[in-house]
Amino acid sequence: MPMTRPAVATLSLALALACTTSVAAAPKAPANARSMQEIIDASRPSDWRRLDPRDTLYLDLANGHRVVVELAPRFAPQHVAQVRTLAHEGYWNGLSILRSQDNFVVQWGDPEEDAAKKKPTGSAKKHLPAEFTFASKSAPGWTRLPDVDGWAPQVGFVDGIPAGHDPKANTYWMAHCYGAVGAGRNNEADSSDGTELYVVTGQSPRQLDRNMSMVGRVVQGMEWLSTIPRGTGPLGFFEKPEQRVGIRAIRLAADVPESERTNVEVMRTDSPLFAELVEARRNRRDAFYKVQSHHIDLCNVPLPSREAKR
Amino acid sequence: MPMTRPAVATLSLALALACTTSVAAAPKAPANARSMQEIIDASRPSDWRRLDPRDTLYLDLANGHRVVVELAPRFAPQHVAQVRTLAHEGYWNGLSILRSQDNFVVQWGDPEEDAAKKKPTGSAKKHLPAEFTFASKSAPGWTRLPDVDGWAPQVGFVDGIPAGHDPKANTYWMAHCYGAVGAGRNNEADSSDGTELYVVTGQSPRQLDRNMSMVGRVVQGMEWLSTIPRGTGPLGFFEKPEQRVGIRAIRLAADVPESERTNVEVMRTDSPLFAELVEARRNRRDAFYKVQSHHIDLCNVPLPSREAKR
């Protein structure tokens, strides 16, 4: 039946994407260029990185589905520490997803607006600094994408996370790609306390880059968040409590018995294999594509994940 | 409560975006720059364009929800003519959405794989040419975006539709932004017959630009497509017939009694007001934003629509 072939990609030489600075333009693809699937199939264990249970969050929805988030402490260390504390103390258990705005974000937290009645935050800090960017002369594992980007001087990956980089200011920040997890705030830059988190479910809203403290990325289960019916109130908030999707628990994997863990590994982004995958997606070599892009946007780069063997 | 403020934008001078060639860089925003909402509130009737019933498709789902598509005949005239024929003759009525792939597309058509048993296509043509781009020295109403784009030499809007443009080749094509509607095909460029249509529900898959015959854009009701549970088969196809979302009818608005029509108007993209809106989104001036982008990607530009008065 006629269909849009989506995924089957192809091609490429291992570009020197994996080094700290890297790459300008892509060489011509060889005839024997491999597809994304062939690249994944040919990967070795060292091309993958198992999630650290201390940096892994399970969002277990009341409907039984699990969303796996990898925390990214390099970007916003105090916010990530706060999220670990809140999860460890069960802060979100029994709360719910409050907002689902089409082509933008879902968001969860405490629906109570009366400060006196809000759920206690235990040993979490009452105040956190804004952590929109981090400064580093060269972020470990920085893998630059070769292509132009309108939102940042450079883009690439830090610790497997899509990121922007300003080489003049020596700063890096998490990009608002599909699945990015950030801390909601009010107008004041330092008004996020980590209790209210949002996940990007729509076209990358990169105007938020450098404006938010970002804590991680969904690596599995995005489909359980992206299909939540949209809220009909302003900003996609649910107008009636019964419309909210309940949260059974948000826990650190380290706090979950091994038998209940979801063991996930993600492809390393600082390897020649990943560079080959990027190039395969910059120029699709399979028979479906009649015109090739010679380009990929940061938020279109696939970040493979899979079940890790115990 | 802490939240990510999404929409409230701001600013700007009416850039000369509305002319055929246009604009390089944005001037500094004046202090009295208007927000997107203020711009919309200040719009005049002439800033809007009512959809032509001959170019409007209603996708009425079996669950009662309606999706409104504006057909864009300039991009793929023979495909759009075919879609009009198929809708007029009720081809899709009683068929269903066959595919929902997370962060990519939904797609509908005839699930039957046996050619002998497929639903007859009536007076539709058996074969259509590939219509991936159209040639024009200057597309009427071409409104260029000022910002860099990695997928096309130039980007902007044609007839209110996000589009790419190659000024050397004098060609234009529809961009795969959220809500874009295209004709599925097999590997052969001319294998789409318009019976199987897809809608972009994920991060703009612009690698498909110039590879597909595109028929229009969803202007209302995207939330009914974007929240369809994801299919668990390859490419997001549903594995069991009962998982599919039924289509009650797909009809041309012109074939629908006036009392049952959804009257929609969309903001013109070739006006000074729209240029002001784009600039308001390139640089958010409200108190929430601490860093401004000085940039917007084509697929992030909002395309306002609203109920039209009868």
**Average pLDDT value for chain B:** 90
Name residue, tokens 């330092």: A190
Task: Tell me whether residues B184 and A4 touch, CB distance under 8 A.
Answer: yes
Task: Tell me whether residues A105 and B6 touch, CB distance under 8 A.
Answer: yes
Task: Tell me whether residues B102 and A222 touch, CB distance under 8 A.
Answer: yes
In order of A73, B32, B147, B306, the CA distances from B276 in angstroms are 39, 12, 15, 19
Task: Tell me whether residues B297 and A151 touch, CB distance under 8 A.
Answer: yes
Closest CA to A15 of A32, A1, A2, A28: A28
Q: What is the mean pLDDT of residues A41-62?
A: 97
Q: φ, ψ for residue B88 (rounded to 5)?
A: -60, -35
In order of A157, B147, B293, the CA distances from B25 in angstroms are 29, 8, 13
- Percent of the residues in chain A that have a pLDDT greater than 90, as a whole number: 85
- Cβ atoms of B12 and B283 closer than 8 Å: yes
Task: Give the pLDDT score at A141.
Answer: 83
Poorest-pLDDT segment among A12-21, B54-63, B119-128: A12-21
Of the candidates A99, A227, A299, the beta carbon closest to that of B203 is on A299
Task: Tell me whether residues A293 and B230 touch, CB distance under 8 A.
Answer: no
Greater confidence (A173 vs A310) lies with A173
Per-state percent for chain B, helix, strand, coil, to nearest 5: 20, 25, 55
**Closest residue in chain B to residue A214, using alpha carbons only:** B4
Which residues on chain A are in Cβ contact (under 8 Å) with B6? 101, 104-105, 205, 235
> Letter for the amino acid at B252?
L
Q: How confident is the model at residue B91 (pLDDT cuts 50, 70, 90)?
A: very high
Q: Tens digit of pLDDT for each residue in B174-222?
A: 999 999 999 999 999 999 999 999 999 999 999 999 999 999 999 999 9
**Closest residue in chain B to residue A152, using alpha carbons only:** B293
**Closest residue in chain B to residue A226, using alpha carbons only:** B227
Of the candidates B6, B281, B299, the beta carbon closest to that of A104 is on B6
Of the candidates B112, B203, B210, the beta carbon closest to that of A178 is on B203
Q: What is the mean pLDDT of residues A27-46?
A: 82
Q: Which two tokens stand for residue A285?
A: 């070599």
Task: Tell me whether residues A185 and B3 touch, CB distance under 8 A.
Answer: yes
Greater confidence (A90 vs A14) lies with A90
Q: What is the mean pLDDT of residues B84-108?
A: 98
pLDDT beyond 70 at A299: yes
**Closest residue in chain A to residue B177, using alpha carbons only:** A203
ipTM, interface predicted TM-score of the complex: 0.91
Q: Tens digit of pLDDT for each residue in A153-194?
A: 999 999 999 999 999 999 999 999 999 999 999 999 999 999
Task: Give the pLDDT score at B26.
Answer: 39
Task: Give the pLDDT score at A115.
Answer: 87
**Average pLDDT value for chain A:** 90
Q: How confident is the model at residue A140 (pLDDT cuts 50, 70, 90)?
A: confident
Of the candidates B102, B177, B183, the beta carbon closest to that of A226 is on B102
Task: Give the pLDDT score at A197.
Answer: 98
Q: Which two tokens stand for residue B249?
A: 């009818």
pLDDT beyond 90 at B165: yes
pLDDT beyond 70 at B6: no
Laid out side by side, the sheet with A134-135 consists of A134-135, A171-174, A161-166, A154-158, A143-144
Q: Tens digit of pLDDT for each residue in B44-86?
A: 999 999 999 999 999 999 999 999 999 999 999 999 999 999 9
Task: Tell me whether residues A2 and B289 touch, CB distance under 8 A.
Answer: no
Of the candidates B148, B211, B287, the beta carbon closest to that of A289 is on B211
Tell me which of A3, A4, A113 to substitute to probe the interface with B (most B C-beta atoms closer than 10 Å): A4
Which residues on chain A are in Cβ contact (under 8 Å) with B147? 150
pLDDT beyond 80 at A119: yes
DSSP code string of A154-174: EEEEETTEEEEEETTTTEEEE
Q: Tens digit of pLDDT for each residue in B252-262?
A: 999 999 999 99
pLDDT beyond 50 at B2: no
**Closest residue in chain B to residue A104, using alpha carbons only:** B6
Task: Give the pLDDT score at A3.
Answer: 46
Which residues on chain A are in Cβ contact (under 8 Å) with B192? 2
Q: How confident is the model at residue B141 (pLDDT cuts 50, 70, 90)?
A: confident
pLDDT beyond 80 at A24: no
Q: φ, ψ for residue A88 (rounded to 5)?
A: -60, -35
**Buried (b) or exposed (e) across A3-27, using 16+ Cβ within 10 A?**
bbbbbbbbbbbbbebbeeebbeebe
Task: Tell me whether residues A290 and B189 touch, CB distance under 8 A.
Answer: yes
Instruction: Measure B258 CA to nearest chain A CA, in Å.
Output: 27
Q: What is the mean pLDDT of residues A36-44?
A: 95
**Closest residue in chain B to residue A235, using alpha carbons only:** B6
